[in-house]
Structure 1
Amino acid sequence: MDPAIATVAATAATTLVAAMTTETWEQTKRAFARLLGAGRDDEGTDAEEELEQARATVQAAREHGDSSAEDEVRENWEVRLRDLLAERREADAQIRALLAAVRSPASTVYNQNVRSGGAGAQGPGASVTVNHHHTYGSPPSRDPEEESDRT
């Protein structure tokens, strides 16, 4: 077995299982289902069902503190993804792109500490948090005024 394939499969399986209990699950599930269903008639429908079953197992394992059950789910997906990579070498680029998208934060939080002067409604020394939300796989939107300040 090519070590690169094994590494990509292990990383993808670990990322997949980790995402099963996060708010990014729906996007992650759809992306993995498309990857797994590529070229098949079901277009990922069966894969989505399998992924949901795996998620239920992981959730139950975490609730009961059963790390071995969660490890088993991860190992099963690692084998499945390794087989996919061995069968379809072009899937390597797809998995790497999927991992990059899954790992990028769905929202970015910026903290700004206001010192003296120009503090606005918060007053000097206040802390302001601004949340920028963007959709899975898409870059954050840019403020045109902010862009003109940079040039």
Structure 2
Amino acid sequence: MDPEIVALASSAGTTVVTLMATDAWERVRNGITSLWRREQVERAEAVAAELDATREDLLAASQTGDQDVEAELQAEWQGRIRRLLAARPEAAEELRRLLEELAPDIGAAPAVTQHATASGHARIYQAGRDQHISER
């Protein structure tokens, strides 16, 4: 599969799920549903229902502190969007425009989310970019 489509689907899935818990939710839902309505009309209503269900799952997970759910939901939407773009590559440009409208800062700098758990005498080193460790 075209690496550009994979990267776009990855970015879109992450953006869609991330914005579900914000004030941009209605715009996200309308934009993604409209995209499907133009490209795969027979799936548009099911996608709208899946968006609603995903948002409910995300909000519930947020209340319980389940951090794994967001990553799982992002992966699900990345797959859905990748399959749409594989079937309809011409939708890529419309998706790019939608993402720019929904999250204009998307191209500025990638968001970094890190989670770690240590136990015993474990050490965790995390970095969003370069990391230099000097232990003696």
What's the TM-score, normalizing by structure 2? 0.71
Q: Which runs of 5+ in 2 are unaligned?
A: 106-136
Higher helix content, 1 or 2: 2
1:35–1:94 contact (8 Å) kept in structure 2: yes
Q: How far did 1:44 drift?
A: 2.8
Deviations 1:19-65 (A, max 9, x none): 10101100111100111232445583322111000000111111111
**Identical columns (%):** 33
CA distance in 2, matches of 1:42, 1:82: 17
Query: What does residue 90 of structure 1 align with?
Result: 90
Which has more radius of gyration?
1
Deviation >4 Å, runs of 4+: 39-43
- Decide whether aligned partners of structure 1 residues 40 and 9 sit closer, same or farther in structure 2, where only a CA change above 3 A counts: closer
Residue pairs, 1:41-120, within 5 angstroms = 41=41, 44-104=44-104
Deviation string 1:109-141 (CA, Å, 9 cap, x unpaired) is xxxxxxxxxxxxxxxxxxxxxxxxxxxxxxxxx
**C-alpha root-mean-square deviation of aligned residues, in Å?**
1.7
- Give the TM-score taking structure 1 as reference length: 0.64
Distance in 2 separating the partners of 1:6 and 1:42: 23
Q: Does 1:12 align with 2:12?
A: yes
| Length, aligned pairs only | 105
Q: Which structure's relative contact order is higher, taking Cα pairs within 8 Å and 6+ residues apart?
A: 2
Provide the rounded CA distance (Å) in 1 between the counterparts of 2:13 and 2:39: 21
* Secondary structure, aligned partner of 1:23: coil
Greater share of strand residues, 1 or 2?
A: 1
Structure 2 equivalent of residue 132 of structure 1: none
Unaligned runs of 5+ in 1: 106-151
Q: Are the equivalent residues in 2 in contact too, given 1:37–1:43 (CA < 8 A)? A: yes
1:2 is aligned with what amino acid? D
